[in-house]
Chain A
């Protein structure tokens, strides 16, 4: 075979030897290529899987935990929610438009495979600073790629988050998520466990594009990437829409035993995972697969990552009925083989067996031993704290203008966030998006969260905080947090400092999840997010996607101030934790302690809010995080088009907290809520009962934003001016190349 020259293996010598031992013979070129892909970091999680075991997976509502295409939770009455988030960082960094679009395509299929209808998309994006033209280019095209693909498929893009930081200049992070609704009795798991079933490949044709995309994602980006052309795919949302409807209809026949998405690793990955999970084997004929280009080698067919493809297993007597459905929707398909009980993946080409390898050999890669080492912090001379800003009003304006705080309207305006008529709270309305179940009195809340700077300064507390913040965000809408799925984005795990960050991150998340009793039902790990030329890794960032359940539509709460005279209550204590805060980043102050994450504090605040909302006490609720109290209040006022008057002296705080801490510190476990005056005492009583510090700090007024210290005025702004500044910041930064 003349393939040897074209295959660039990433396996180590040790891994090749291990493969020979397990197989009991020398693998041929095609088999070696398959092992190479399946044992890559992207498919095998060889560096991360041991640590990921620490995350809690059990819970009363968990139906499907990690290991399948998406996690599934039970929300009562036979209804289930499937949700998943995945990275598409590497393709997006070199072709932002198609990279992001195909990311959306892939995550939709992950939900579809569980026999759930995809009903909402969310995206968590990280770019370099908008002063850079490269970052602007990435930003603009990633957003357009998500918008074009999502809008064409008729699935609303309902939530997300964006962060700007120089560490994402060349390696932007594009994490895409999807959630779907389905019925528990109809749930399907992507496994082949019924020998004799027919295997059908449906959708897009198999081409040479994207061969070895996963090994590409398991390397760092360097000069060569521009030439790695086949690794970038073109998405096809038109075919995707047909595939969604055809798949759901085919599943309704009851003749389909399993469905699996073809993503990274192509046919090899889908086939081996399905048969490995079902303890079965399979036999396929590569000659019958509908290909786009003539003369594709078996290696290319097995490894191609062409888009819009799904693998079905169907009971033999149901074949005709299922194929009729594909034909009616105009989808191409090939009947490629059948499920066996041998445990082996057997592929024939031109009548000859060219692959015969145990499926479990492919799916159980050897673990990679990685070393963790805490990075040495360059000892900077201790510098004293910056002085309290002389004009606090001006500082608040400057904060509203920073890209991380400014309105993200320019992004979500491009997305259709209402198609499907399930959206109750849209992007910008509140801390999390809320989708209702049609015909039911219940809804789910969903939000993606991470603060990369906090995660970098203190990976343990930073990641624990991300979990806590995501929980607070769904709680603020009136939901009870029920499960998370996560997407870890790190540098090169072979670098001990990066691996240390990863270990700390998992430990931190695990601490907070266990404390809040929230299970993790799935996730994705993306390593090698670093620039080869500079050696700079991205700031460690794990996107937490939190799902919450609202059991009565009347309880849904948003962040907008509602009526003058209502009381504004602060729940949770403010500490001097300005390290990595938006305020310190604004004034470029490199020191300070990032926020601590403490389970007992989070539980106290969260229980207080959930109970207050259930009792109907609250008219608005907002999690207090980025930018601190000053920004949280500003957002509530801007959204409600009302003013407020706050006495900062009343804010519950730790002793030795200065006024800049009070207004800008990003401490955890805090909410700001409003309530009609007569109910204020009841809210405080609830907080006290749950052990959360709370106080009435002011009230809603008609026009201006005013903060005092006792009688002394320390900040005074017009709401209209604040809104204008906040809304115009990102559009203005985007002007010019």
Chain B
């Protein structure tokens, strides 16, 4: 069975604040002299290898896992799932 590389990115929703990102922008980057960087958003990144017949199936498996195991909370987070490549 083929195997797919899948990425999950979990971020705070656009309308929600991101105190960690704000602190990094202010206290690390701007204070460190990089004034042209005006905003940082942090998040969580997971890289998975998924055995599946097709791309769509791999995505479906990851989506279902993310929802049923609650690796994010739809109330505050967005969860984007991207198929990167098929492993050989």
| Count of chain A residues with a beta carbon within 8 Å of a chain B beta carbon | 22
A98 close to chain B: CB less than 8 A: yes
CB-CB under 8 A from A97, the residues of chain B are 73
Interface size band for B = 10 to 19
B69 beta carbon closer than 8 Å to chain A: yes
Which B residues between 51 and 88 are near A, CB-CB below 8 angstroms?
A: 68-70, 73-76
Contact A95 B75 (CB under 8 A): yes
Q: Is the CB of A234 within 8 A of B16?
A: yes
Q: Does A503 contact B (CB under 8 A)?
A: no
Contact of A234 among B17, B69, B70, B74 (CB under 8 A): B17
Contacts of A226 in B (CB 8 A): 74-75
**Are A737 and B17 in touch, CB under 8 angstroms?**
no
A207 contacts B17, C-beta separation under 8 Å? yes
Look across to chain A and name the residue whose beta carbon is closest to the beta carbon of B13: A229
Instruction: Give the distance in Å from the alpha carbon of A307 to the alpha carbon of B17 in the complex.
Output: 10
Q: Which of B1-45 contact A (CB under 8 A)?
A: 12-13, 15-19, 22-23, 26
Given contacts A137-B70, A229-B13, contact A238 B23 (CB under 8 A): yes
Tell me the residues in window 314-335 of chain A with beta carbons closer than 8 Å to chain B beta carbons: 330
Nearest residue, chain B, Cβ from A231? B75
A238 contacts B19, C-beta separation under 8 Å: yes
The prevalent SS among residues of A at the interface is: loop
B74 — which chain A residues lie within 8 A by C-beta?
226
- A209 near B23 with CB under 8 A, answer no
Q: How far is the CB of A330 from chain B (nearest CB, A)?
A: 8
**Is the pair B17, A239 in contact by a Cβ cutoff of 8 Å?**
no
Complex Cα distance, B75 from A217, in Å, reads: 16
User: A137-B70, A238-B23, A737-B69 given as contacts; is B75 within 8 A of A232 (CB)?
Assistant: yes
- How far in angstroms is the closest Cβ of chain B from A214? 18
> Which of A137, A236, A737 is packed against the most chain B CB atoms within 10 Å?
A236
- Residue on B nearest A307 in the bound complex, by CB: B17
Among the interface residues B19, B23, B26, B70, which one has the most CB atoms of the partner chain A within 10 A? Answer: B19
Q: A137-B70, A234-B12, A737-B69 are in contact. Are A94 and B75 (CB under 8 A)?
A: yes
The smallest C-beta distance from A196 to any residue of chain B, in angstroms, reads: 35
Which of B17, B18, B22, B73 gathers most chain A CB within 10 Å?
A: B17
A235 to chain B, nearest CB (A): 7
Query: Is there a chain B Cβ closer than 8 Å to A230's Cβ?
Result: yes
Determine if A209 and B19 form an interchain contact, defined as CB atoms under 8 angstroms apart.
Answer: no
Q: Which residues of A contact B22 (CB under 8 A)?
A: 236
Question: Does A517 lie at the interface of the complex (its beta carbon under 8 Å from any beta carbon of B)?
Answer: no
| Bound-complex Cα distance A130 to B76 (A) | 24
Contact of B73 among A95, A208, A209, A307 (CB under 8 A): A95
In the complex, which residues of chain A have a beta carbon less than 8 angstroms from the beta carbon of B19? Answer: 234-239
A459 to chain B, nearest CB (A): 33
Q: Are A209 and B16 in contact (CB under 8 A)?
A: yes
8 Å CB contact of A229 from B17, B18, B75: B75
Residues on A with beta carbons closer than 8 Å to the beta carbon of B73: 95, 97
Select from chain B the residue with minimum beta-carbon distance to A225.
B75
Kindly identify, within residues 207 to 254 of chain A, every residue whose CB is under 8 Å from any CB belonging to chain B.
207-209, 226, 229-230, 232, 234-239
Contact of B15 with A98 in the complex, beta carbons under 8 Å: no
How far is it, in angstroms, between the C-alpha of A236 and the C-alpha of B42 when the chains are bound? 14
B76 touches A232 (CB 8 A): yes
CA distance A267 to B13 in the complex (A): 24
Q: Closest approach, in angstroms, between the C-beta of A234 and any C-beta of chain B?
A: 4
Beta-carbon nearest neighbor of A99 in chain B: B75
Closest chain A residue, CB of each to CB of B17: A234
- CB of A236 within 8 A of CB of B17, answer yes
Interface residues of B (CB under 8 A from A): 12-13, 15-19, 22-23, 26, 68-70, 73-76
- Residues on A facing B (Cβ under 8 Å): 94-95, 97-98, 137, 207-209, 226, 229-230, 232, 234-239, 292, 307, 330, 737
User: 5 tightest CB-CB pairs across the interface, nearest first?
Assistant: A236-B19, A234-B17, A95-B75, A238-B23, A94-B75
**Sampled A-B contacts (10; CB under 8 Å):** A94-B75, A95-B75, A97-B73, A207-B15, A229-B13, A229-B75, A234-B17, A236-B17, A239-B19, A330-B26
